[in-house]
């Protein structure tokens, strides 16, 4: 699915910054991969290249067999539209548009006719459990619900993989965990999921953890016993109950 060969990225702004120093990486369809690393490790740069938002300075990137490392901006836009589903830390929903219209956005740029668009958007909104909220605007939704809308938007175009950048970063642990449950379900159904995070506990949900340091892939770890998002969810609600009980006892 994804194949990087000796990918480097050098930024020329204010002296040369080597953000990536030769990364080789293969990701197979259906994998659940977490990319970890401290800030400045090249994590964001790698994510931008994987997401076809940026081009490597050297090396090649094959996505579903096609070399995408030398494409033009508009060609990359097309690849992003068709092959990649983005989930951002800050959701990035259009504030004035209802959930349904936000979800339809990738299909609008693909030129899908309105009726078809509405049907597909309604389908994925139902899939993420927001069928009832289709006509609410983002400010009428909770953070967790907003991130679900964003995931629906990422899924609606049936992309090759999901690329999630700190998807739980702006959420409380409970709604963050519900998002992780959703990713786990999607992965179980065959969706390739790439998770970019600095949170080790979040990363341990993935079946494979890549550690990035100083622009190099320093460790490619197979996580044979990934955390189950559902049991994590139970653990968190148990903690919450204990805390609530403690509050009652304290009073």
* Chain contacts with other proteins (rule: CB under 8 A): 48, 51, 53-54, 73-74, 77-78, 80-82, 86, 88, 92, 94, 96-97, 105-106, 108-111, 153, 157
Helix, strand or coil, per DSSP, at residue 236: helix
Shortest spacing between CB 152 and other proteins, in angstroms: 12
Shortest spacing between CB 166 and other proteins, in angstroms: 12
Helix, strand or coil, per DSSP, at residue 131: helix
Shortest spacing between CB 47 and other proteins, in angstroms: 10
CA 246 to CA 177: how far, in whole Å?
23
Shortest spacing between CB 153 and other proteins, in angstroms: 7
Tokens at residue 229, please?
A: 């998002």
Q: Which is nearer to other proteins, 195 or 229 (CB)?
A: 195
Q: Which is nearer to other proteins, 25 or 53 (CB)?
A: 53
CA 90 to CA 93: how far, in whole Å?
8
Q: Which is nearer to other proteins, 165 or 232 (CB)?
A: 165
Q: Which is nearer to other proteins, 93 or 191 (CB)?
A: 93
Q: Which is nearer to other proteins, 83 or 187 (CB)?
A: 83
Shortest spacing between CB 15 and other proteins, in angstroms: 19
Give CA angle at 168 (110, 130), nearest 5°. 55
- How many separate helices (H) and strands (E) can be counted in the chain? 8, 10
Q: Look at residues 158, 164, 231 and name the one whose alpha carbon lies nearest to residue 199.
A: 164
Shortest spacing between CB 246 and other proteins, in angstroms: 38
CA 108 to each of CA 78, 105, 117, 222: distance values in angstroms, whole numbers, following the listed order:
12, 5, 8, 39
For the beta sheet containing 84-87, the strands, ordered from the edge strand earlier in sequence to the opposite edge, are 84-87, 161-165, 192-197, 32-36, 208-213, 216-222
Q: Which is nearer to other proteins, 125 or 229 (CB)?
A: 125
What's the chain's length in residues?
251
- Partners of residue 23 on adjacent β-strands: 7
Q: Which is nearer to other proteins, 94 or 244 (CB)?
A: 94
Contacts of 239 (CB under 8 A, 6+ apart): none
Shortest spacing between CB 192 and other proteins, in angstroms: 18
């Amino acid at each position: 699915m994804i194949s990087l060969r000796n990918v480097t990225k050098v930024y020329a702004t204010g002296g040369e910054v080597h953000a990536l120093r030769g990364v080789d990486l293969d990701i197979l369809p259906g994998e659940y991969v977490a990319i970890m690393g401290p800030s400045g490790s090249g994590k964001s740069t790698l994510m931008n290249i994987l997401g076809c938002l940026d081009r490597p300075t050297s090396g090649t990137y094959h996505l579903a067999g096609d070399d995408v490392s030398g494409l033009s901006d508009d060609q990359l836009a097309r690849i992003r539209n068709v092959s990649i589903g983005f989930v951002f830390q800050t959701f990035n929903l259009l504030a004035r548009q209802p959930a349904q219209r936000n979800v339809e956005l990738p299909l609008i740029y693909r030129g899908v006719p309105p009726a078809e668009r509405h049907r597909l958007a309604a389908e994925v909104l139902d899939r993420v459990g927001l069928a009832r909220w289709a006509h609410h605007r983002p400010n009428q939704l909770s953070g967790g619900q907003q991130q679900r809308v964003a995931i629906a938007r990422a899924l609606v175009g049936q992309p090759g993989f999901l690329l999630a950048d700190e998807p739980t970063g702006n959420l409380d642990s409970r709604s963050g965990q519900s998002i992780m449950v959703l990713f786990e379900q999607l992965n179980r159904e065959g969706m390739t999921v790439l998770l970019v995070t600095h949170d080790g506990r979040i990363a341990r949900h993935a079946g494979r953890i890549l550690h990035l340091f100083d622009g190099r892939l320093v460790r490619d770890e197979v996580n044979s016993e990934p955390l189950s998002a559902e049991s994590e969810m139970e653990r968190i609600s148990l903690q919450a109950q204990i805390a609530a009980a403690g509050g009652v006892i304290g009073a």
